[in-house]
Chain A
Amino acid sequence: MAEKKDTEIEITLLGLEENKNILEKILKSNAKIKFKNFRLFADNVEILFPSLSAKKMLLENSGSNEKAILEKLMKGGGAITIDNFETSGEELEITVPSFVQQIITAGLGGGMSMQTAESAGVIEKLLEFKFDAAKIADNRKTEIAEVTLGATKTEGGSRDSVVKIGGEKTMPFYFFENPPVNKSVISNDVFDIPGGVPKVVRERFKIGDKTDKEIMADPGEWAKFRVEKSHAKVVTIHLISTDPNVKDASVQDAMKTIAHILQSVKVPIVVGGSGNPVKDPLIFKEAAEMFAGERLLFSTISGDMEYEDVVKACVKHNQNLGTLVSMNPDDMRRLNSGILKAGLPKNQLAMDPFTAGVGYGIEYSISSLERCRLAGLNGEDSLAVPIISATSNMWAAKEAWKKNPEWGPREIRGPLYEAATGAMALLCGANIFYSLDVLGIELLNKIIDSLYELKEEKKEKDYLSWITS
């Protein structure tokens, strides 16, 4: 764009907002200038010199011709008329001598540097500096509750392993305040009926001779596949068939499915509903009683559900309960307060402030998760509970699953969107993820593993070798 000739330089100011200010400042002309949707009326061209010393420096660095003009300019109160002036379409073109461009540099953006440059001193030796992390560490009032998923036989359940989530004393990975307590965990998605899983995800549902169809036909097989293929530490059974608009499977059917999952795998189980406000509480209550002592996590209760009976059953039979509020920490606090008031111990509660995918409102999720966690650490008891991130929500976005050569192969693009969405939630405090894609799960696990322990830094510093590699 800047086409340089010997003594002249051409500047084209395009319609960027920031250039508007530049324009206003450096150009005032009799002409009417059309600048996108913006009009400028002015009388004289004027250039502001940043400071006396900057003027001096400009003079020093200028050739004799330029110097003469500059001196004239400076005497004239820093006013200049630019002659060669034309407008074309939405762009504005002005031909100015190259040294004027220097002045513009001095007056804008670079202005401060200009001052720095002329006044900068010399370095004789490196000064000492000692950083003290205690100076920046915050005092947190509350610890996040620690929730236990699953119970072994001796604890009254039937699991081989249990998983603890939560327990944080600081914002995520603020090692300078405190190390994380429990590693965040990925609960692998299993649905009670096939369908709704994008093709690109199904393609990785393969193990041994088993095809994706065989795996997905039986939720028990699907759960086994998760443990074998992805070493799932937790599995979620989503009871989507119970939705009256899907299959309207009965509460009893749902109980059979849960029993089947509990028999098929020995890891802790999350029980996901269909989102139906009437049916979900019935299922959760029934399952709490039927699978007493298993420390299931019911996912989730939202504001439009009657939850008193579910809470009672969870208290009596030692189960965990999740809550869901879409990106509103105040509503989250209200719902959780109600549930705690109804009698659920804090260490049996987890919350889902909603995770939207990259490109689909993830910024609201970032703020929503961070605000919930900050409030929890700063004394808001009802928010001092582990965070659920239903990461696989992001598969609703076509950027994840759609075949489109301009976007690159979806076989990796989709898992990237899932892992990146999970990684953002992780940095904002998520303790348990519901994830779908095999590669997405592998990638997110890698990040979780690499983040959890503050390792010794390498003795030989080789980072800078990127320059010469």
Chain B
Amino acid sequence: MARLSALQLYKLLPKTNCGKCPEKTCMAFAMKLMERGVKPEDCAELKGEKLKNLKEVITPPVRDVVIGNPEHAITVGGEEVIYRHDLRFFNPTGMLLDLSDTMSEEEIKLRIEFVKKYQYERIGKFLKLDGVSVRCASNDKEKFSNIVKFAVENIDKPIILCTTNPEIMKAGLEIAKERRPLIYTAIPENLKEMFELAKKYNCPLAIHSENLDEIGSMTKTLMNARWTDIVIDPGFDFENLSSTLNKFEILRIAAIKNIKEFSFPIMVSTVGMKNLNLGELAAVSEALSVSLCLDRFVSLLVLSHFSEIYNVMETLTLRMNIYADPKVNPTTEPKVYPIGTPDENSPLLITSNFALTYFGVAGDIESGKVSCYLLVIDTEGLAVLVSLAGGKLNASKIKEAMDANQVEKLVKHRKLVIPGYVGRIKGAIEDETKWEVLVGPQDSGGIGDFLRKNWTGGGLDVKTK
């Protein structure tokens, strides 16, 4: 469905500017609605059929499915475009760790603890896994029930229950129902029973088939029964990535082009990769698979490896990148930042205003235990190397920033320390600024040592109060 304009949405609102919601006018509400800053329910005056109508109208071409209870839910899908630059991707791929009822108690505890505790900080944000997926590998209802119970009691993040046996699924749902888990998975053979469970427990339902016609057949059947809380699993084959990705692409593009049977988020599990005998490359192969899935429209993933941290770290970082709003550059305000306790003798350093660069450099200077002024130059949010290649960081920009921030009043000396990568335009900077230029290390981790070795003139120590 084509995106509705704010004006079209406005027509569906009460148009009373009642002031009961935080927006000043209904038009402002419509604009927020378009950007998903508010939900239709946020309108105090819209009720009944009109609310339902508005909800239907703003349903994205890839429907959004909520897994979990309101306190701990993830929304998957809800996407509107094929390419992120056309708008943005909205709901970051849910990444859940695999638990099996044949794992030892110790292993299960370890895995749950990991999901609860692990976080990786980037640009002031903490990246984490989203929950656990519990599967019945034993084919034993008791065993499965026990581990579901253990998971429910020990972690409050979203849960997926995995078995194709409706009876075992029912036992799991009875325990986990208040958590509103994803039911994984319906297949043509058990669709009827799994659907009844989804209805009874009001939980979203995954369907699986590797065949697109069969997928469409199942979703069509469910939609005919007025059920739309569906996630599609078309399968994942590491040894046949072409066929796997081709299906992801078809599902997403078809959804955007209004083929209703495919208008649902995609999920896969990479757990099966452990049967491929990939040896010491098992974890790295999974990380690469997950990376491909993240870039190719997969909204929900069940992961196998966790103890090889690089695996989790790389994929969480990539997810943050892909789902970042392309309209917003993560930047830091371009100005002079004093780090430590600088005085008029302290070094003056420059860097780019890409947020990650700034955080990294500032952190490294602090841990290097030196005082200095850090002049952040407006490179339009690009990192040093990129901005240098793209002409966003050049001698005249540096001169401009130095003048605008009146650095000549800040320090007595006339020496500028530049990042190693900028060394290539050292001459140009000297000509432009008439300052002496010291080429610092390429990696900011070496700044402390570099300055202690090369900086003369004092002002380097961090004074304690």
Contacts and interface: CB of A to CB of B under 8 A. Distances in A.
Interface string A101-136: 000110111111111110111110111111101011
Contacts of B80: none
Contact of B216 (A113, A131, A276): A131
Nearest to A406: B309
Interface string B34-53: 00001101100000100010
Given A120-B226, A463-B272, A361 B386 contact: yes
A210 B51 CA distance: 73
Interface in A127-158: 127-131, 133, 135-136
B75 interface: yes
Interface string B105-127: 00000000000000000100000
A457 B296 contact: no
Contacts of A302: 389
Interface residues of B, dominant DSSP: helix
Nearest to B214: A129
Interface stretch (A201-209, A225-233, A248-256, A324-332): A324-332
B243 A420 contact: no
- Most interface-central of A109, A275, A326 (chain B CB within 10 A): A109
Nearest to A331: B390
Contacts of B69: 2, 105, 110
A416 B257 contact: no
A127 B274 contact: no
Given A173-B246, A324-B389, A412 B85 contact: no
A292 to B, nearest CB: 30
Contact of B296 (A407, A420, A427): A427
A410 to B, nearest CB: 8
A123 B221 contact: yes
Interface string B231-247: 00001111111110110
B240 A328 contact: no
A380 to B, nearest CB: 15
A276 B296 CA distance: 37
Contacts of B296: 427
Contact of A363 (B322, B426, B443): B322
B443 A127 contact: no
B137 A22 contact: no
Nearest to A132: B259
Nearest to A51: B48
Nearest to A463: B235
B407 interface: no
Contacts of A465: 272, 275
Contact of B199 (A105, A110, A120, A402): A120
A451 B241 contact: yes
A454 B243 contact: yes
Contacts of B136: 467-468
B394 to A, nearest CB: 9
Interface size range on A against B: 35 or more
Interface stretch (A79-87, A212-220, A314-322, A392-400): A392-400
Contacts of B167: none
B208 interface: yes
B71 A1 contact: yes
A339 interface: no
A301 interface: no
A412 B310 contact: yes
B240 A396 contact: no
A431 B326 CA distance: 24
A359 B291 CA distance: 12
A417 B314 contact: yes
Contacts of A393: 385
Contact of B212 (A131, A328, A468): A131
B321 A461 contact: no
Interface stretch (B4-12, B184-192, B409-417): B184-192
Contact of B382 (A326, A359, A409): A326
A416 B322 contact: no
B396 to A, nearest CB: 13
A63 to B, nearest CB: 16
B424 interface: yes
Contacts of A168: none
B55 A112 contact: yes
A363 B355 CA distance: 14
Contacts of B386: 326-327, 354, 356, 361, 364
B424 A245 contact: yes
B63 to A, nearest CB: 9
B383 interface: yes
Interface of A: 1-2, 11-13, 21-22, 24-25, 48, 50-52, 104-105, 107-117, 119-123, 125-131, 133, 135-136, 173-176, 243, 245, 275-276, 302-304, 324-328, 331, 354, 356, 358-364, 366-367, 370-371, 374, 393, 396, 398-399, 402, 406-409, 412-413, 415-417, 419-420, 423-424, 427, 443, 446-447, 450-455, 457-458, 461-469
20 contacts: A25-B41, A127-B221, A129-B213, A131-B213, A131-B262, A175-B242, A303-B391, A358-B291, A359-B318, A406-B309, A413-B310, A416-B311, A420-B288, A443-B284, A451-B242, A457-B243, A464-B187, A465-B275, A467-B135, A467-B163
Top 5 A-B residue pairs of the complex, sorted by shortest distance between their CB atoms? A326-B390, A129-B216, A466-B272, A413-B310, A408-B309
